[in-house]
Amino acid sequence: MTRLPELAVAFAPHGELAAKLLPHAFADGDGSHDASHLIRVWKNAARIQAEEGGDIGILAAAVLLHDCVSVEKDSPQRAEASRLAAEKAWQILDGLGWRTADISPVAHAILTHSFSANLAPETLEAKILQDADRLDAIGMVGAARCFYIAGRMGSGLYDPLDPLAEARPLDDKAFAIDHFETKLFRLADGFKTATGRRLATERQARLRGVLAMLLDEI
């Protein structure tokens, strides 16, 4: 991507690090895990870190590389995505001359950030990354990403006969709004920091508002 040097500025005061890591940071063609996603997660993470503490340099590297391996939502390897990303991040940072003591917390944060991996974050930086990434999955942006991914996967928006799955099993592979119940509404209960929980409550309300407006219109 030719705009990478410009995008690095968005990760200030870690623009120099971002310039080195952005070429490895995401796969082209996935608009739900692109540069804009990384920037939003960085803003979320920096906001949480300002209140909760933690090593901002470790956090910056973890944010930049948390999606450095792309695995499609419908892939049987989906649960392995964060492990693969952590392994690749380790190789990238090692190649840049980082010390093992600094690489290890970055890799741990990346390994445990994923909902699909279902691993508990043990460090503050890992908890912040998980919260920051999950904030981007709820709220207005979360709804937009949900519909975008549904389109990429060939899903419909909703079941025209039973939108809320009152008489059928939920199926988020077939219908986008089923994903609100199968995953998105569940995310707010799992935030690890007090700041993250507060922000998640606000965004959860917005997400429910999006669904309510959609149901009203259909």
- List every span in the chain annotated with CATH 1.10.3210.50: 1-123
- pTM to 2 decimals? 0.91
pLDDT band at 76 (very low <50, low <70, confident <90, very high): low
**pLDDT top residue among 69 and 96:** 96
The two tokens of residue 32 are 């739900």
Output the pLDDT for position 161: 96
pLDDT above 60 (res 121): yes
Output the pLDDT for position 73: 65
CA dihedral 190, 153, 62, 141 (to 10 degrees): -60
List own/partner pairs for 198-205 with CB under 8 A and 24 or more apart: 199/44, 199/47, 199/48, 199/131, 199/135, 200/131, 200/134, 200/135, 200/138, 202/139, 203/135, 203/138, 203/139, 203/140, 203/142, 204/138, 204/139
Partners of residue 175 on adjacent β-strands = 156
Mean pLDDT of 166-186: 95
Backbone angles phi, psi at 136, to 5 degrees: -80, -10
CATH of 137-218, one of 1.20.58.1910, 3.90.400.10, 1.10.760.10, 3.40.50.2300: 1.20.58.1910
The two tokens of residue 40 are 């939003």
The two tokens of residue 84 are 């693969």
Backbone angles phi, psi at 141, to 5 degrees: -65, -40
Burial 185-199 (b: 16+ CB within 10 A, else e): eebbeebbbebbeeb
Note the pLDDT tens digit of each residue in 7-41: 899 999 999 999 999 999 886 667 777 889 999 99
Which fold, 1-123? Hypothetical protein af1432 (1.10.3210)
Q: How many CA atoms lie within 13 A of 86 on its CB side?
A: 19
**pLDDT top residue among 112 and 32:** 112
DSSP secondary structure, 93-110, as one string = HHHTT--HHHHHHHHHHH
- List every span in the chain annotated with CATH 1.20.58.1910: 137-218
| DSSP SS3 for 202 | helix
